[in-house]
Amino acid sequence: MKYLLTALLLSLSATPLLACETVQLGSLEISEAWSRASIGMARPGAFYVTIRNTGATDDALAGIATPVSGKPMLHETVVKDGVASMPHAPAIPVPADSTVQLEPGGYHGMLMGLTQVLKEGETFPVTLTFREAGDVTVPVAIRGMGAKDAGCVDKKD
C-alpha cells in the first residue's frame, strides 16, 4: 500500500501539472518553469521561468543548478540590428514589486552538457539561487521542441 502510494506520487510528479504551480520563497513567487524536449544530449537546452517579487527589496537571480546539466548558466539573448547573440548574464535583476520572465528571445537558463535526454511530458528540478532570498528548487515541465511557453492553463502575470 505504502509502495503503491509512493509510486502514485512519483507518477504524479512526472506530469507537467505541478510545474504550473507557484512556488513561494519569501516574497518571491516562482512559476511557469519550463524547458523544451531535446534530441539526445549533444545540444544545450534552455530553461524558462517567471519570477514575481512582491516584496519591497530588490533581489537578483544569481545562478541555477540542475542534475540534468553539467554546466548550467544564465544567458541573455540580445537581438541588435537583426543580429542575435547570447551573452552570459552574471545575474538577472528581480527588482522589488515587479515580475521578471526568463522567456524565448530574452533571459534564459542555458543547460549545457545535458546529463539526460529531456523527454516531453516529464519534469526535472532546477534550483534557483537568489542573492537575497537564497535557494529554491522548482519542478520544470518539459514541453515539445516547438513550444513557446509553459502551456499552463491559467497564466499568471
Partner 1 sequence: MRLKVLQKMLWAAVALAIPAYGALHLLDERAETPVAEVSFRPTFSLLDAEGRVRMPSDFAGKHLLVFFGFTNCPDVCPTTLAEVAQVMEGLGDDAGKVQPLFISIDPTRDRGLELAEYTAAFHPSILGLAGDEAQTRAAAGSFRIFYEREDSSGAPDGYTMAHSASLYLIGPDGNWLRQFSYGTPASEIMNDLKQRL
Exactly one of 95, 104, 121, 134 binds partner 1 (CB under 8 A); that residue is 104
Residue 68 Cβ vs partner 1, minimum distance, rounded to whole Å = 13
State how far the Cα of 88 lies from the Cα of 74, in Å rounded to an integer. Answer: 6
Size of the site for Cu ion (CB under 5 A): 3
| Per-residue contact string for residues 121-150; x = within reach of partner 1 by CB under 8 A | ------------------------xxxx--
Contacts of 80 (CB under 8 A, 6+ apart): none
Which residue do the cell numbers 502510494 mark? 5
Cell of 38: 531535446
SS3 10: helix
Does 108 engage in binding with partner 1 (CB under 8 A)? Answer: yes
State yes or no: residue 36 binds Cu ion (CB under 5 A). no
Task: Report, in Å, the least distance between residue 121 CB and partner 1.
Answer: 15
Q: Which is nearer to partner 1, 25 or 65 (CB)?
A: 65
Is 7 among the residues that bind Cu ion (CB under 5 A)? no
Residues 42-101 that bind partner 1 (CB under 8 A): 42-46, 73, 75, 77, 79, 82-88
Among the candidate windows 20-28, 52-60, 109-117, 134-142, which touches partner 1 by CB under 8 A? 109-117
- Of 2 and 146, CB closest to partner 1: 146
Per-residue DSSP letters for 93-145?
EE-TTEEEEE-TTSEEEEEEEESS---TT-EEEEEEEETTTEEEEEEEEEE-T
> For the stretch 21-46, what's the b/e string if a residue is b when 16 or more beta carbons lie within 10 angstroms of its beta carbon?
eebebebbbbbbbbbbbbeebeebbb
Residues lying near partner 1 in the complex (CB under 8 A) = 36, 39-40, 42-46, 73, 75, 77, 79, 82-88, 104-105, 108, 110-113, 145-148
